[in-house]
Amino acid sequence: MKDTFFDFTPETLEPWCTARGMPRFVGSQLIRWVYERGVTDPLQMTDIAKRNQECIASEMEFEQSVMMVSQLATDGTRKILLGWPKESSNTLPLLEPPTRRTECVMIPSEDRRTACVSSQVGCPVGCRFCASGIGGLEGNLTAGRIIEQVHRLRLEPSVGRISHVVFMGMGEPLANLGAVRDAIRTLNAPWGFGISARRITVSTVGLPAAIRQFCEFELPVTLALSLHAPNDELRRQIIPWAQYSTIDELLDACDEWFQRTGRELTFEYILLGGFNDRPQHAEELAVLARRMRANVNLIRYNEVEGLPFGRPSSDDVHRFQEVLRERGVNSHIRASRGRDIAAACGQLRHRSLSGVTGLNVVPTIDPSPSA
């Protein structure tokens, strides 16, 4: 069984090299080739001795995932479907595609390239409006597999350097906290992707104990709370895990986050047409946001086939924001990016090509559900 590159740091890669009779500096060479240049074929790493190239190629795996589908939305958003082996192996059998699949997204703007990554295969939370939890949780992603998503996205056409990362893909990041922290360290490290910690956001549905544990993290990342309702009764109707903790308990943990890190919190709030988008809901939300001095990101619901919610009207969305601003709350309406390829917030799911038509779709292996 091969070792996997993205699970290594310089401190662990150098002894790996010396244990195989290579100089310590080969570890630094590998780091530069992969993170600076995006090269993952040891035989193309021209400043590494031939015998060392061959040793690395035989004992190290660089890309565990199989690129199954790549889609480009009309607004420039790029979504890729990656297949993962259940266990790390020396080869991925292309005739038997891996059954564990995740989606990740690159969202472009004038001055940034944001990678939206998954932390789990599926999701254990099962929010009633979200596609990612359909089918439940299949497993956690390792730190290396989280990092590999960013690597894969930056190699897509017209993407280039990733400037921001949001843990808002499939899964609940704080339910896989160890791997998420390790991945963030590599994303932030000068030898890794060199992404500022302040440009990395971790979004959670709210686990008070995990939030308090996350307070110990040494890097000043941004924490976003997926609130989605201004009171417990409404929240429990759409978020099953809301039965385990009240909003007050969540905000107490978030207050500890702010006191210990000095980092302001963001509330993520999906507006579901006719459900949680009334002016009285905005008034309740304003009280919570002012208590925390939190920013509020308002997100129009992005439809998911088979789920019972609808997209709110533009008038209702703007009225909701107006109520918040009248009460002194800093709020923004987030644009829905990639809706035509189901890449927008709440739409990520391990989809195959089934039903995809009229889009820029690039399949790389047969992704049929029977695989």
Asked which of 44, 60, 76 is the last residue of a domain, the reply is 60
Same domain for 290 and 252: yes
Q: Flag whether 369 is in a domain.
A: no
Do 144 and 37 fall into the same domain? no
Q: Does residue 73 lie in a domain region?
A: yes
Q: What gap in Å lies between CA 368 and CA 62, rounded to an integer?
A: 25
Is 284 among the catalytic positions?
Answer: no
Count of other CB atoms within 10 angstroms of residue 283: 15
Whether residue 268 contacts residue 203, with contact meaning beta carbons closer than 8 Å, is answered with yes
Q: Is 366 helix (H, G, I), strand (E, B) or coil?
A: coil
- For the chain, list the strands marked E by DSSP: 3-4, 60-61, 66-72, 78-84, 100-108, 113-116, 120-122, 137-140, 164-167, 200-204, 222-226, 266-271, 295-300, 331-334, 360-363
Residue 181, C-beta contacts closer than 8 angstroms, at least 6 positions apart: 217
What is the value of pTM for the model shown? 0.88
Last residue of a domain, one of 19, 41, 60: 60
- Residue 40 resides in a domain: yes
The sign one gets for the Cα dihedral 370, 87, 186, 295 is: positive
How far does Cα 53 stand from its chain's mean position? Answer: 33
Same domain, residue pair 138 and 38 = no
Does 370 map to a domain?
no
Nearest to 4 by CA among 16, 18, 21, 22: 16
- The answer to whether residue 127 is domain-embedded is yes
pLDDT in tens, the chain (371 residues): 899 999 999 999 999 999 999 999 999 999 999 999 999 999 999 999 999 999 999 999 999 999 988 988 888 899 999 999 875 444 434 334 556 889 999 999 888 999 999 999 989 999 998 888 788 898 999 999 999 999 999 998 888 899 999 999 999 999 999 999 999 999 999 999 999 999 999 999 989 999 999 999 999 999 999 999 999 999 999 999 999 999 999 999 999 999 999 999 999 999 999 999 999 999 999 999 999 999 999 999 988 777 889 999 999 999 999 999 999 999 999 876 545 454 445 444 544 444 333 333 333 333 222 32
Residues 47 and 112 in one domain: no
- Which two three-digit tokens encode residue 253? 């943990």
In this structure, the number of other CB atoms found within 10 A of the CB of residue 113 comes to 19
From the list 61, 103, 148, 303, the catalytic residue is 103
* Residue 198 contacts residue 189 (beta carbons within 8 Å): no
Does 135 lie in the same domain as 263? yes
- Look at strands 137-140 and 120-122 and give their pairing: antiparallel
Rounded Cα–Cα distance for residues 183 and 115 (Å): 13
Q: Tell me, what CATH number does 314's domain have?
A: 3.20.20.70
Residue where a domain stops, chosen among 16, 31, 60: 60
| Domain CATH number, residue 20 | 1.10.150.530
Residue 221 located in a structural domain: yes
Verify whether residue 345 is a known catalytic residue: yes
200 lies in a domain? yes
Contact (Cβ atoms closer than 8 angstroms) between residue 223 and residue 190: no
Q: What is the pLDDT of residue 133?
A: 78
335 bridge partner residues: none
Residue 368 lies in a domain: no
Q: What distance in Å separates the CA atoms of residue 25 and residue 47, rounded to the nearest whole number?
A: 11
Which of 295, 299, 292, 311 lies closest to 168 in space, CA to CA? 299
CA distances from 346 to 56, 117, 365 (A): 40, 13, 26
d(CA 252, CA 230): 15
Helix (H, G, I), strand (E, B) or coil at 352: coil
Residues of the domain holding 14? 3-60
Give the model's pLDDT for residue 308: 85
One domain for residues 55 and 68: no
The active-site residue out of 17, 123, 254, 345 is 345
Cα 81 to Cα 155: distance, rounded to the nearest angstrom: 14
Q: Are 355 and 226 part of one and the same domain?
A: yes
Same domain? 55 vs 140 = no
Same domain, 289 and 359: yes
Same domain, 12 and 145: no
Same domain, 338 and 350: yes
Q: Do 76 and 51 reside in the same domain of the chain?
A: no
Total domains, the chain? 2
Q: E strands of 185-303, at which residues?
A: 200-204, 222-226, 266-271, 295-300
CA dihedral angle for residue 245, residue 247, residue 250, residue 254, rounded to 10 degrees: 180
Both tokens of residue 84? 């993962």
